[in-house]
Amino acid sequence: MARIRNDYENSWWPRLLRWLETGSSALDDRMEEEMEATHEGHLLPSPEEIAAQEAKREERIQRKLSDELALYTHAHQWSRTKGAKLADWAYRILAVVICLAIIFLLLQTASFLPSFGSPDNPAHNEVSRRYIEKGMEETGAVNIVAGMILDYRAFDTLGESNVLFVAACSVLILLRLSSDKKDLSSVHQLEMEADDRMYEPKNDIILQKVSTLLVPIILLYGVYGVMNGHISPGGGFSGGAVMGAGLILYLNAFGFKKAQRFFTFPVFQAVSACALTFYALSKAYSFFTGANHLPSFISPGTPGNLFSAGLIPYLNIAVGLVVCCTMYAFYTHFRKGDM
């Protein structure tokens, strides 16, 4: 049972309120009165006395300052002449010694590495033998690297794509200008554009003609690399990087206005998110069926065909799209903080 308080006036809450209102308690009041009483008879010092004291204080401060200055100049003279020389010597000797030690350590470690390309290296174990012997019939990919990174070790590749996506997110967070800058006056925008393209040829005829010739070829090569990732060398990352470089060349030749006709921020968001989600879902499906020994409708197909190797071409396309969009987004956000 709770105790009933009868004297509300003396409980802690009203006491606190009273203290807050008056600012002091009875004890403080009494102390103040006593202090006033002791100070009653004390006379104030005369102006001369004050002036003398002030002068003495000034003199003391001056003396201390000059002492300090002398010490400071002494120390600095030493560090500028002799000390600097000593520190310089120590720095150089230490730099050389540390570099030599690290070089020695690394070379010593390298001498214990197995010789390059030797058949009895520890890397040539049953795992790589399995990949090489059975990789093609299990994954359906002629390019064994694609079969490895998108089938046996697809989880790693998912992590890599996500790392790239997170990097793009952090670039967006750091470099993206806020949207309230969009309603700036057109003069200011023009000035910013001029500042942005200060060292570039504006509407340069050579660059434009060359890039009309080169950009389709570069983009086509990127698409070829992505689509044939399971047949020939290439794959999602390299093809996507080539496509991104082609887009950047196009942007540099023709400016933001023309690039914005087909590549804006919503396009970037949609493509990146869809590609990553597709990758995650399809790999979740194949991991689920594979781990539970369930029959899967994905068949390896005939190795060597364009649409073979199960999910690998589609995963390659997803990775390529993510990489391409990320590279382009990096460049545009470095350039002007927008797309």
Partner 1 sequence: MELLNILLLIFIIICAVAVSLTKNLFTSIVIFMSQSLAMSVIWLLLESPDLAVTEAAVGAGITSLLLFVTLKKIHAIDQQKKGAAQHGTDQE
Q: Is 131 in the site for partner 1 (CB under 8 A)?
A: no
- Amino acid residing at 258: K
Q: How far is the CB of 170 from partner 1 (least distance, A)?
A: 14
233 binds partner 1 per the rule CB under 8 A:
yes
Based on the shown chain and the rule CB under 8 A, indicate whether residue 267 belongs to the binding site for partner 1: no
The two three-digit tokens of residue 151, written as one number: 């089938």
Question: What are the structure tokens assigned to 148, written together?
Answer: 């490895």
Dihedral of CA 85/87/90/92: which sign? negative
d(CA 120, CA 101): 31
Q: State the chain's maximal CA–CA distance in angstroms.
A: 112
In the three-class reduction of DSSP (H, G, I as helix; E, B as strand; rest coil), residue 282 is classed as: helix
* Among positions 135, 140, 147, 225, the unique one binding partner 1 when judged by CB under 8 A: 225
Q: How far apart are the first and last CA of the chain?
A: 69
CB of 241 to partner 1, least distance (A): 4
Q: Report, in Å, the least distance between residue 72 CB and partner 1.
A: 33
SS3 43: coil
How many residues bind partner 1, per CB under 8 A? 20
Q: Is 128 in the site for partner 1 (CB under 8 A)?
A: no
Cα 164 from Cα 187, distance rounded (Å): 36
**Residue 245 or 253 having the CB closest to partner 1:** 245
Helix axis angle, 312-336 to 205-227, nearest 10°: 150
List 131, 165, 237, 268, residue binding partner 1 (CB under 8 A): 237
Cα dist. 26→3, 22, 30, 33, 180 in Å?
28, 10, 6, 11, 58
- Measured from the CB atom, is 124 or 298 closer to partner 1? 124
Q: Does 148 bind partner 1 (CB under 8 A)?
A: no
Query: Is residue 198 a contact residue for partner 1 (CB under 8 A)?
Result: yes
248: contact with partner 1 by CB under 8 A: yes
The residue among 56 and 92 lying less far from partner 1, judged by its C-beta, is 92
- List, in order, residues 6 or more apart from 267 with CB less than 8 Å away: none
- Among 72, 78, 91, 334, the residue binding partner 1 under the rule CB under 8 A is 334
Among 141, 242, 259, 275, binds partner 1 (CB under 8 A): 242
- Options 6-14, 209-217, 229-237, 300-308: segment touching partner 1 (CB under 8 A): 229-237
The binder of partner 1 chosen from 241, 267, 271, 298 (CB under 8 A): 241
| Rounded Cα–Cα distance for residues 187 and 313 (Å) | 48
CB of 318 to partner 1, least distance (A): 17
Measured CA to CA, the distance from residue 249 to residue 243 in angstroms comes to: 10
For partner 1, which residue of 131, 263, 268, 330 counts as binding (CB under 8 A)? 330
- Residues within the interface to partner 1 (CB under 8 A): 145, 198-199, 225, 233-235, 237-239, 241-242, 244-245, 248, 327, 330-331, 334-335
